Every structure is written in C-alpha cells, then in structure tokens.
Amino acid sequence: MKPVETLEDVVIRFAGDSGDGMQIVGTQFTQTTARLGNDLATFPDYPAEIRAPSGTVAGVSGFQLHFSSIDISTPGDVPDALIAMNPAALKVNIGDLKPGGVVIVNTEKFVPREFEKAGYAADPLADGGLDKYQLVRVDMGRLTREAVAGLGLTNKDTDRCRNFFALGMTYWLYSRSIETTRDWIEQKFKDPWKQANLRALEAGWSYAETVEVFTSRYQIPAAKLPPGKYRNIVGNHAVALGLAAASARAEVPLFLGSYPITPATDILQYLAAFKAWGVQTFQAEDEIAAIGSAIGASYAGHIGVTTTSGPGMALKTEAIGLAIMTELPLVIVNVQRGGPSTGLPTKTEQSDLWQALVGRNGEAPLCVLAAASPADCFRMAVEAVRIATTYMTPVILLTDGYLANGSEPWRVSELSELPEMKVHFETNPEDYHAYGRDPVTGARPWVRPGTPKMENRIGGLEKQETTGNVSYDAVNHEVMVKARAQKIANIQVPDLEVHGDADGVLFVGWGSTYGAIRTAVDAARARGHRVAHAHLRYMNPLPANTAEVLRSFRRVVVPEMNLGQLSLWLRAQTGVGCISLPKVQGRMFKVSELIEAIALHGLEDAK
C-alpha cells in the first residue's frame, strides 16, 4: 500500500490536442469530485479553431480544476498536477506547473515527428528541463490498445479511448472512484465504444494502482458547504436557468431570440432544450433579427431576451435604442470576450463595460448588471428580469468567457427564494395613457396587443409626454430625455458591501474577477495587510452608497481585465480617483499577481 496524503486543495490540469477529449475528461473529473462533496471551481481553456493542426501548440485544449475541503472561489493559479497528452500540451502548460508538481506524459506521442510539430528541437523529457517535477511517463497509446484489443475497433476509434485511460489514472491518484464516469459512459455510448471506453478507464485506474509510477496518493476530504441540494454549474447554464426561473416566478413566458456566437452560444442551446417548461427560442438570421424578435416578443407580453458577445452587441446597438425609446422590458446578455472586432473569441475579457454603459446614439441610459461567479449568473439573470419588468427598460447583463465556461457548485434555488416579481399588464382603458408613468418607478404601463379598447402606436420617434403620440416639440424632447434617465436612476439596488478591514486599501472589482480578488485579499489580510474587497454587481445605477464606501478608504485599487473602464466610471460617478490595475491578456488575474499588487499598494497600510 502506498501512503495516502491528505490535502486541503488541489489544482489539476488536463491538456491535449483539441480532438483528444480533454474537455470530456475534465467535466467527468468535475462531476465525480462534486459528488464527493468537495468545493470546486473549473476553467476550460480551448482554442477558437475546432481542430487546429494536430500536435501544434495552436491546437492545445486544456481543462483546469481546483477542488478542496475548504471554501474556494477560483480555478487556481498553479496546477499541482498536469496531464499532458502530447509535447505541444507539455510546452504550453509546463510553465504554469508548481515546482515539485506531478506531470504525467503520454510517451506514445513523445517522438521526433511530434517534437517538431510542437516546436521542440529535441526530446523535452530528456534534457533535464523537467527535473524539478515528478515526471511520470506512461505509454497511454499502447496500454489503451492492449485494453481494448479484441473489440474490433479501428485504430482511430481506439485512440479516442486514450483520454479515459488518463482519467482512470488521475482518479486513482486522487482517490476517486470511477463509478460516476462508468455510469455516464454506460448511458452515453453504445457497444463496442461503451465497452472500449470502460476498459480504458478501468485499465488506467488499475495501471496506476499496480505499477509503481506514483510516489504517493492523495485524498481531499469533503468541504463544509451550507446544507442543501447542489449541482455543478457553468455560467452559461446558470444564466439559462435563471432566466427560466425568473419567467416562472413572474408567470410571464420567456422568449429568446439569439444568433450563435462564441462564447454565448450555449445559452441558446440550453434554453432550446427547456421547451417542456414553455421556453420559446428563435435562432435568428443575425444579431439584429435576434434582438428584434425579442423586442417584438416583449411588446406582445413575453419576457424578451437576447444573448450575445461583444461583436453581436455592436450590431444590436440600434435596436437597444428602440427598446429604450419604446420603454419595453428586455434582457440582453453579453458574454464578453477579447476584443475589439473578432478579437479573441474563446478568451475572456471585461472590455465591453463602456459599450454597455454608454455605447448608443442619443441619451440612452439603461440598467447594467454584472455576474461575479458561475453560480452568481443565476442570481443576476433573475435580477435582470426583475428590473426589466419592474421598470420597463432594457437591462444588459454582463458575464464573460471565464464565467460562461467555468463551473462551481450551485445550491439549487427554490422558486420561493427568488425575489417577488409582480408583473402587471394594464387592461383598464380608463385614464390609460401609453406613456403615463408609475409615480414610484417611472415605468410606463405594459399593454399587450389584443387588449380591447387600448389600441396604441409606439415607435422609435420621440414621444409626447404621457400620450405617447409622435412629437417633435423641443421642450417635450428634453422632458422625455430626463424622464428616461430618471427611470433608470430610480432603480433600487442593494448597497455595496465591504469585506475586510476598514479605512485601509480597498480593492473594487466587478464581474468574474470576484474569486481572484477575494482570495488575494483574504491571503493578504492573513499576512497582516490592512485591505478590503468590495464587488460591484450593479454597474448602472451604482449602489447608492458607492461614493461613501470609496471615500472611506485611503486608497482604492481597481483590478479589471481592460485598460481601466471601471476606474474611470467610478471616478465619473463618485469623484473618487481610483488606481487602475489592468490586465488585458485574455486571461483571468492570478491570485499571486493580486497579492503582489496588494503588497505594492498596501505596504504603508500594514497593520
């Protein structure tokens, strides 16, 4: 028996060619780990090309998983273990591995032809460059072929089982049973592929058990999560569930108009599968038709939603203005990616904040929300629907590629836990005015076509106050511009909360940087820095106490994945100067980078 070492948390990364099935094994390891009760956070990282030339660094697909017995909120900076299916995967990922970490390489692919494709001059396993790691060499190709022999598979199909061999080994290393994946394979595949994948999985586990390849084995006890029913969820799935739940809560049907775009496409796909719950999806001919159909559905009395990413947002801009002018509820989800233009489709960025806040012609304010974690996408999608229907306004929900594809455990919400949503369709023609306003919210009445005696005309031309008739009157225009702005200012949002020490250095974040900032701030506080974290989910309007919170700190630092869009927005809105900490590499902040920044900005504030 090998010794079993108990760890608090572990970061592993699977890496291979984009056709090697790394996303599948990553997802399987995640499901198994979730079932064991660990806290976890995942981050898949894959190229924009579906199949870049095999063996090249451009084609490397990765999946990182952080799992623990403690509370965690990021997929981790440095992997403890790397599973590299070929030299290119090793080349791309080895620099991130923790010194002393485990690197499992598939030696089948460590041959001169593959070195050349990966851009290695010589065998990287032979030059001593890996001496600081625990190198584990396994000919996964040969062992998989032996395991599936006799099933009559083609060579190509045999090679496709290799990922399950790697998964089996990894399960053994971290003391996980293969059961969850076995069940999944049995449901997912037909013979002979079912048999083959099962054999490869078992062979990988047994190989690790029998052959002396690992010096030790690890276990990670279950985490102490609050009681409840959990499922592991990626951000795009959480958005879809949040929209469907909000529609059920409001008792108003959901309509999605969408056009496929990375990394937002999955939301369309999830919602298209929710038909049994009455969700209607319309794959439009383009981004403009997608939002147009959503506006039409909202006008007809549904919750109209459109989902997209930055370039698609740009195309929808004119139609967003129409929804502002006609004061219809509408939810626009922008899963941000690297820009401008086509940019980095599969990489993450937070550079569409200004686009969301101000990127329209005319005075065109609307509500902008931002989700902080994959599971938080559920809550913020519900909020988007609540605000859109309460205030009769378009709401932009910003997520990003990191949230969209990253996952964490989500405590399943009961419908009764959701905020109350009272949607009222006006049916009383007495004293009805198309642009009459609710005295509290400033919202105009929502009247569905088909309602007798309330026929009215709306459109993109300026409206006369109250009646809604077309008006070119100069003073009326200013009245209406101000009324639309006031309505957005009226939106009630929760106060900004501060986590950490008062009056030292405040780190203000928004969106997906939540986990990294929170982890870094906690680590810095443990080292004696006087530092705090506040995270914005409501970008417009900002929480009422934002200026007060910012002023109460000696220094405000804003880490964000753009060149300082939030710091400028905060300065404009509160008058408080903030220090921007930008990172625009298509990648999330590392906790270590933020800790360094805290050390830099917070030294003088040490306790």
Answer for which of 136, 143, 243, 294 binds another protein (CB under 8 A) is: 294
Which one of 72-80, 169-177, 208-216, 299-307 is the stretch in contact with another protein (CB under 8 A)?
299-307
Q: Which amino acid is at 456?
A: N
Q: Which amino acid is at 382?
A: V
Cα atoms in the Cβ-side hemisphere of radius 13 Å centred on 552:
17
Based on its alpha-carbon atoms, the radius of gyration of the chain, rounded to whole angstroms, reads 26
Residues 185-244 touching another protein, rule: CB under 8 A, are 225-232, 241, 244
Which structure tokens are listed for 283?
């794959």
Closest approach of another protein to the CB of residue 293, in Å: 4
CA-CA distance, 269 to 281, in Å (whole number)?
9
Answer for which of 116, 127, 286, 495 binds another protein (CB under 8 A) is: 286
Closest approach of another protein to the CB of residue 598, in Å: 32
Closest approach of another protein to the CB of residue 453, in Å: 7
Which structure tokens are listed for 372?
């902080």
> What is the separation of C-alpha 465 from the centre of its chain, rounded to a whole number of angstroms?
41
CA-CA distance, 462 to 528, in Å (whole number)?
57
Q: 555 near 505, Cβ under 8 Å?
A: yes
Closest approach of another protein to the CB of residue 315, in Å: 11
Closest C-alpha among 64, 69, 21, 61 to residue 41: 64
Which structure tokens are listed for 578?
């903030």
Answer for which of 52, 143, 284, 532 binds another protein (CB under 8 A) is: 284
Residues 89-118 touching another protein, rule: CB under 8 A, are none
Q: Please, which residue, 57 or 248, has the CB nearer to another protein?
A: 248
Closest approach of another protein to the CB of residue 262, in Å: 21
CA-CA distance, 284 to 264, in Å (whole number)?
14
The owner of tokens 């276990």 is 219
Integer CA distances (angstroms), 335 to 246, 314, 366, 384, 573, in order: 19, 13, 18, 14, 25
Which helix (H) or strand (E) segment holds residue 82: the answer is: strand 81-84
Residues 253-282 touching another protein, rule: CB under 8 A, are 253, 255, 257, 274-280, 282
Residues 24-53 touching another protein, rule: CB under 8 A, are 31, 34-35, 37
Closest approach of another protein to the CB of residue 251, in Å: 11
Answer for which of 85, 250, 297, 594 binds another protein (CB under 8 A) is: 297
Q: Is 412 in the site for another protein (CB under 8 A)?
A: yes
Residues 475-534 touching another protein, rule: CB under 8 A, are none
Q: Please, which residue, 102 or 289, has the CB nearer to another protein?
A: 289
> Residue 472: CB partners within 8 Å, gap ≥ 6?
462
Burial of 122 (C-beta count, 10 Å sphere; 0-12/13-18/19+): exposed
Q: Is 375 in the site for another protein (CB under 8 A)?
A: no
Q: Please, which residue, 158 or 258, has the CB nearer to another protein?
A: 258
Q: Please, which residue, 17 or 266, has the CB nearer to another protein?
A: 266
CA-CA distance, 401 to 348, in Å (whole number)?
5
Answer for which of 299, 538, 553, 569 binds another protein (CB under 8 A) is: 299
Q: 236 near 404, Cβ under 8 Å?
A: yes
CA-CA distance, 588 to 225, in Å (whole number)?
25
Q: Is 364 in the site for another protein (CB under 8 A)?
A: no
Closest approach of another protein to the CB of residue 176, in Å: 14
Which one of 146-154, 252-260, 361-369, 589-597 is the stretch in contact with another protein (CB under 8 A)?
252-260
Which structure tokens are listed for 191?
């013979």
Closest approach of another protein to the CB of residue 214, in Å: 28
Q: Is 251 in the site for another protein (CB under 8 A)?
A: no
Closest approach of another protein to the CB of residue 487, in Å: 20
Q: Please, which residue, 470 or 544, has the CB nearer to another protein?
A: 470
Residues 415-454 touching another protein, rule: CB under 8 A, are 415, 448-454
Q: Which amino acid is at 235?
A: G
State the CB neighbour count (10 A cutoff) for residue 246: 27
Q: Please, which residue, 16 or 468, has the CB nearer to another protein?
A: 468
CA-CA distance, 48 to 510, in Å (whole number)?
26
Q: Is 302 in the site for another protein (CB under 8 A)?
A: yes
Closest approach of another protein to the CB of residue 249, in Å: 8
> Residue 323: CB partners within 8 Å, gap ≥ 6?
291, 295, 298, 330, 393, 394
Q: Please, which residue, 136 or 295, has the CB nearer to another protein?
A: 295
Q: Please, which residue, 144 or 180, has the CB nearer to another protein?
A: 180
State the CB neighbour count (10 A cutoff) for residue 321: 17
Binding characters for another protein, 174-193, by CB under 8 A (x = yes): ------x-------------
Question: Judged by CB under 8 A, how many residues of this single chain contact another protein?
Answer: 72
Q: Please, which residue, 55 or 235, has the CB nearer to another protein?
A: 235
Query: What letters, b where the CB count within 10 A reaches 16 and e where it falls short, cover 288-304?
Result: bbbbbbbbebbbebbbb
Which structure tokens are listed for 594?
């933020």
Residues 317-336 touching another protein, rule: CB under 8 A, are 318-319, 321-322, 326
Closest approach of another protein to the CB of residue 523, in Å: 26
Q: Is 313 in the site for another protein (CB under 8 A)?
A: no
Closest approach of another protein to the CB of residue 477, in Å: 17
Q: Would you call 548 helix, strand, or coil by DSSP?
A: helix
Integer CA distances (angstroms), 125 to 83, 91, 97, 491, 607, in order: 14, 11, 15, 60, 47
Answer for which of 469, 486, 492, 585 binds another protein (CB under 8 A) is: 469
Which one of 156-164, 166-174, 284-292, 556-564 is the stretch in contact with another protein (CB under 8 A)?
284-292
Closest approach of another protein to the CB of residue 329, in Å: 13
The owner of tokens 């080349």 is 91
